[in-house]
Structure formats: C-alpha cells, structure tokens
Amino acid sequence: MADGRVERGNQTRRTVLDRTMSIASVDGLEGLSLGKIATDLGLSKSGVFALFGSKEDLQLATVRAAVDVFVEHVVRPVREDPAGLAKVWRVCELWLGYSGRRIFPGGCFFYSVSAEFDARPGPVHDEIAKVRSDWTRYVERLLEEARVAGAFREGFDPADVPQLAFEVIALMELANAHSVLHEDPVAYERAGRGILDRLRAAAAAPEELPERPPVVSATA
C-alpha cells in the first residue's frame, strides 16, 4: 500500500511537471500557479501542494524537469559518439531539432526562462544560471575533446575554444528566438549553415562535415 501511494505521488508529480514545463516555456515560470494547475489537471489541490510546497519549489522542480527533457533529446543521443567535430555538429543539429520541433511549445525552455530571470536574484535565477553554465561548458568540452583528437586544422589556438562555443550557441539561440517570434523555420537552416561554415573553416578534414544542414520544420 505504501509503495502504491509513492507511485501515485510520483505519477502526479510527473503529470504536474509535464504541464508546468509547457506553460513556463510560453508564459514564464511566474505564470505557474499550484492551485490553477491542480484545477486544470483535475487533481487535488492539497495533493499538489503537498508535493511542491510553494511556488518557488514548483519553479525549481520545473527547471530541473526541463533539464531531463533536454538531456534526453540533445545530449544522450551522442554519448557514445567518438570525439570530433562531427559529434559537435550532431549536438547542434539535435538542439536545432529540439527547438524546431517544439518539444516545448515556446521553443527552447531555457532561452525563455533565462530572459525572465536574468536580472532577478534568488534560487530560481541561480538554478537557471547553473543550467546555462553547464550547457556552455558541455559545448566547450566537446570542442576541446575534438581538438585533442586532432579534428582542428594546424595552428588552431586552444584559447579559441570558448569563443567558438559562444558563437555556436549564439547562432542556435538566435534561430530559436527568430523562429518563435516570426514563426519562421528558415532561421534554423540559416543557423545550421552558419555553424557548419564556422566548424568547416576550423576543421582539419572539413569533408567529414556536411556542406549544408538538413531542413528543420518548426511545429507549433
């Protein structure tokens, strides 16, 4: 009986977080309300409050749940890939698909909530900042692993790795912002072309990378 109650609680938590991630990607984390979500989902308000306790707890849980979704769609598929620029490109391709297919209705979840909390101190800001820093370090690590594996042309400066990571991430996020605002999936192709041009220009074997990205169709 205890195990059954725990599983029901876990299922309710998953149901609530699926809903809050979708809401927050469009309306922001401040748009979340424990009472309204319970009503919308036909759940007990007391049960939802018991799971999360406060709005801030719900916001933090939503951010962490979104990390799991992001990892599932962008990071996990390449874990067994060998180090190199092909792996870097594959991650970028997955990211553009994650945004373009609207895994979250508002596009990239973290782009949306970062704009909401970037100048607001507190635990939610700190959690979002940590997630964003972790993502940047991950891209930098992939590029550094590619460098160590000999994927860059002779003369490539290791100090350029953070700059390249910054440019790649910036192109992806601009594609997300443009596509969401203008309902224009072409932004993903343009970002993909920019990323590939940058990677190919630095690559020791540019022929190992595609010349053009696949078409990403945004889905509202």
Q: What is the pLDDT of residues 5-16, one digit of tens each?
A: 667 768 889 999
Q: Which of 39-43, 149-153, 212-216 bottoms out in mean pLDDT, i.e. has the lowest? A: 212-216
**Average pLDDT, whole number, for the chain?**
93
More confident residue, 51 or 92: 92
Q: Which of 33-42, 77-86, 96-105, 161-170 bottoms out in mean pLDDT, i.e. has the lowest? A: 33-42
User: What domains does the chain contain, in order, with CATH numbers?
Assistant: 55-208 (1.10.357.10)
Q: Average pLDDT of 34-46?
A: 88
The separation between CA 105 and the C-alpha centre of its own chain, rounded to angstroms, equals 13
Among candidate residues 89, 111, 100, 91, the one with its CA nearest the CA of residue 188: 100
Compute the C-alpha angle 25/128/122, nearest 5°.
Answer: 115
Q: Average pLDDT of 77-95?
A: 98
How many residues in the chain? Answer: 220
Query: Contacts for 72-76 with beta carbons within 8 Å, 24 or more apart?
Result: 73/97, 73/98, 73/103, 74/98, 75/138
Angle between the 161-182 and 186-202 helix axes, to the nearest 10 degrees?
170
Alpha helices in the chain (DSSP H): 2-27, 34-41, 45-52, 55-70, 85-100, 109-117, 123-148, 161-182, 186-202
* Predicted pLDDT at 164: 98
Q: Which of 30-34, 78-82, 106-110, 150-154 bottoms out in mean pLDDT, i.e. has the lowest? A: 30-34
Q: State the residue for tokens 């109650």.
A: 5
Q: Are 62 and 117 in contact (CB under 8 A)?
A: no
Which tokens in the block code for residue 52?
């999360």
Following DSSP, what letter does each residue of 40-75 receive, concatenated? HHT--HHHHHHHH-SHHHHHHHHHHHHHHHHIIIII
Sign of the torsion formed by the C-alpha atoms of 96, 97, 101 and 102: negative
Q: Average pLDDT of 146-173?
A: 97
Q: What is the pLDDT of residues 114-141, one digit of tens each?
A: 999 999 999 999 999 999 999 999 999 9
Q: Average pLDDT of 38-63?
A: 91
Residue 220 has pLDDT above 50, yes or no: no
